[in-house]
Amino acid sequence: MHGTILVAIAKDREQDVMPISNQQVITHRFLRPLSEDDFYPSHLVDRGRTILLRLCERIEAEQPADLAALYVLTQAATEEFNALEAEFDSAGSGIETVAREEIGEDFWFVARAYGFQDADAEELIATREW
């Protein structure tokens, strides 16, 4: 892919198309191991990807100046995963060890992709309940 990828993101009742320009993000397959495992419902994995892509959009739009500003964004996205956990549970799945590690790895990938190599992996998702 060249340049900017357009990613469709559902927001409330409307559909917006938001550009992501970071080449590492464009080529990354978020939550890949979860999408390859039938234990995780695909529609919920897709919602998890949407959370991560929306995080990337916010980072590109807001351009956090330091780790503290980045953590505000990542922890807000973590709250969205907290809400999604109940839906995983209701579907007979869950955000258990494999999912926790994969989600955490993708948050860390995002931080590094946007130049925050010194980000603390635990601090990125400090508000997690899973």
Quote the pLDDT of residue 45.
98
Confidence of residue 9 (pLDDT cuts 50, 70, 90): very low
Quote the pLDDT of residue 18.
63
* Per-residue tokens: 45: 């994995």
Confidence of residue 16 (pLDDT cuts 50, 70, 90): low
Q: Quote the CA–CA distance of 2 and 12 in Å, as a whole number.
A: 29
Range of weakest confidence among 5-14, 32-41, 60-69: 5-14
Residue 12 scores a pLDDT above 90: no
Q: List b or e across 56-92, with b for residues whose CB sees 16 or more CB atoms inside 10 angstroms.
A: bbbbeeeebeebeebbebbbebbeebeebbeebeeee
Quote the pLDDT of residue 19.
84
Mean pLDDT along residues 94-107: 96
Quote the pLDDT of residue 21.
96
Q: Which amino acid is at 84?
A: L
CB 52 within 8 A of CB 26: no
Neighbouring C-beta atoms of residue 49, cutoff 10 Å: 18
Q: Quote the CA–CA distance of 40 and 65 in Å, as a whole number.
A: 35
Residue 4 scores a pLDDT above 50: no
